[in-house]
Structure 1
Amino acid sequence: MPKIHLLLFLLLLTSGIWSAEESCSRGEERPKRYLLYDVNPGEGFNLRRDVYIRIVNLVRRLSQSDNWVLVLPPWGNLYHWRSMARGTFFPWRTFFDVHSLRRWINVVEFEDFVKANGPTIQQAYILQHYAEGWQGNWEEKYDERPCINQHAFKFRDEDGMWQGTKWETELEVKNLKCISIQGHASTVIPLLNHDGDSSSTYLGRAETILHDEYGGTWYWAARRSMRFSDTLRQEAAQFRQRFLNSDDAKDGTEMTEDWRDMKPARRAGRGGPYISVHLRRMDFINARREEVPSLKKAAKQINQILKKHNVTTVFVASDAPLNELEELRGLVSGSVVWYEPSNEVLEVGGDGAVAIIDQIIAAHARYFSGTYESTFSFRIQEEREILGFPEETTFNRLCGKNPKCEQPAKWRIVY
Structure 2
Amino acid sequence: MFTSLVIFSGCYMISAEDMADKDVFQTSNQPPLQFGQAKEPRYLLYDVNPGEGFNLRRDVYIRVANLVKVLNEDEPWILVLPPWGRLYHWQTRELGAQIKIPWSTFFDLESLRKHIPVIEFEDYLKVIGKPVIGEVYYLQSYKEGWDKWEEKMDIRECIDKPRYQQDENGKWRGPFFYYDEVYAEKFACMSAQSYAVSMKPFLMKNTTARSVFLDRAEALIHGMFSEWSAEYWTARRSMRFSRELRDIGDAFREKYLRSNDKKDRTELKDWTNMKRKHGDALGGPYLAVHLRRKDYLHAHSKQVPTLKNAAKQIKKFLIPYDVQRVFVATDAPDEEFFEFVQKFKKTKIYRFEPTKEILEKYKDGGVAIIDQWICAHARVFVGTYVSTFTFRIHEEREILGFSQESTYNRLCGSEEDDKECEQPTKWSISY
Provide the TM-score with structure 1 as the length reference. Answer: 0.90
**Could you tell me which of 347, 372, 375 is aligned with 2:385?**
372
Taking structure 1 as reference, are residues 264 and 345 closer, same or farther at Cα in structure 2, changes over 3 Å only? same
**Residue deviations 1:103-137 (CA, integer Å, cap 9, x gap):** 00000000100111121111110001112222x22
1:218 aligned to 2:231?
A: yes
1:141 touches 1:187 (CA, 8 Å); kept in 2? no
1:34 touches 1:68 (CA, 8 Å); kept in 2? yes
1:295 aligned to 2:320?
A: no
Taking structure 1 as reference, are residues 265 and 412 closer, same or farther at Cα in structure 2, changes over 3 Å only? closer
1:80 aligned to 2:80?
A: no
Displacement after TM superposition at 1:146 (Å)? 1.5
Letter in 2 for 1:97: D
Letter in 1 for 2:381: F
2:90 touches 2:98 (CA, 8 Å); kept in 1? no
Displacement after TM superposition at 1:157 (Å)? 4.0
Displacement after TM superposition at 1:161 (Å)? 2.4
Q: Which residue is equivalent to 1:48?
A: 57
Unaligned runs of 5+ in 1: 1-29
Aligned ranges for residues 397-412 of structure 1 at < 5 Å? Answer: 397-400=410-413, 401-404=415-418, 405-412=421-428
Displacement after TM superposition at 1:295 (Å)? 0.4
2:375 touches 2:381 (CA, 8 Å); kept in 1? yes
Q: Which residue is equivalent to 1:17?
A: none
**Could you tell me which of 159, 184, 199 is aligned with 1:188?**
199
1:68 aligned to 2:77?
A: yes
Separation in structure 2 between the aligned mates of residue 156 and residue 87 of structure 1, nearest angstrom: 27
2:105 touches 2:362 (CA, 8 Å); kept in 1? yes
2:49 touches 2:216 (CA, 8 Å); kept in 1? yes
Provide the TM-score with structure 2 as the length reference. Answer: 0.87
Q: Which residue is equivalent to 1:246?
A: 259
Q: Which residue is equivalent to 1:22?
A: none
Taking structure 1 as reference, are residues 87 and 247 closer, same or farther at Cα in structure 2, changes over 3 Å only? closer
Taking structure 1 as reference, are residues 282 and 206 closer, same or farther at Cα in structure 2, changes over 3 Å only? same
Higher helix share: 1
Q: Which residue is equivalent to 2:17?
A: none
Of the structure 1 ranges 259-268 and 119-128, higher mean CA displacement relative to structure 2 is found in: 259-268
| 1:393 alignment partner, SS class | coil
Letter in 2 for 1:307: I
**Residue deviations 1:169-200 (CA, integer Å, cap 9, x gap):** 12121111000111211232222112453110
Q: Which residue is equivalent to 1:116?
A: 127
Q: Which residue is equivalent to 2:211?
A: 200
Q: Which residue is equivalent to 2:326?
A: 314
Displacement after TM superposition at 1:145 (Å)? 1.2
Separation in structure 2 between the aligned mates of residue 125 and residue 166 of structure 1, nearest angstrom: 13
Displacement after TM superposition at 1:85 (Å)? 1.6
Aligned ranges for residues 127-166 of structure 1 at < 5 Å? Answer: 127-134=139-146, 136-158=147-169, 160-166=170-176
1:396 touches 1:408 (CA, 8 Å); kept in 2? yes
Displacement after TM superposition at 1:96 (Å)? 0.3
1:413 aligned to 2:429?
A: yes
Q: Which residue is equivalent to 2:407?
A: 394
| 2:165 alignment partner, SS class | strand
**Could you tell me which of 266, 275, 297 is aligned with 2:278?**
266
1:97 touches 1:226 (CA, 8 Å); kept in 2? yes
2:278 touches 2:404 (CA, 8 Å); kept in 1? no
Separation in structure 1 between the aligned mates of residue 97 and residue 163 of structure 2, nearest angstrom: 17
Q: Which residue is equivalent to 1:8?
A: none
2:296 touches 2:304 (CA, 8 Å); kept in 1? yes
Aligned ranges for residues 356-371 of structure 1 at < 5 Å? Answer: 356-371=369-384
Displacement after TM superposition at 1:227 (Å)? 0.4
Displacement after TM superposition at 1:163 (Å)? 2.0
**Could you tell me which of 336, 341, 346 is aligned with 2:349?**
336
Q: Which residue is equivalent to 1:4?
A: none
Of the structure 1 ranges 360-369 and 303-312, higher mean CA displacement relative to structure 2 is found in: 303-312
Letter in 2 for 1:95: F
1:275 touches 1:313 (CA, 8 Å); kept in 2? yes
2:278 touches 2:398 (CA, 8 Å); kept in 1? no
Letter in 2 for 1:75: W
Unaligned runs of 5+ in 2: 1-38
1:355 aligned to 2:368?
A: yes
**Could you tell me which of 79, 91, 104 is aligned with 1:93?**
104
Displacement after TM superposition at 1:88 (Å)? 2.4
**Could you tell me which of 35, 49, 58 is aligned with 2:67?**
58
| 2:302 alignment partner, SS class | coil
| 1:285 alignment partner, SS class | helix
Letter in 2 for 1:402: E
| 2:110 alignment partner, SS class | helix
Taking structure 1 as reference, are residues 205 and 53 closer, same or farther at Cα in structure 2, changes over 3 Å only? same
Of the structure 1 ranges 300-309 and 37-46, higher mean CA displacement relative to structure 2 is found in: 300-309
Aligned length: 383
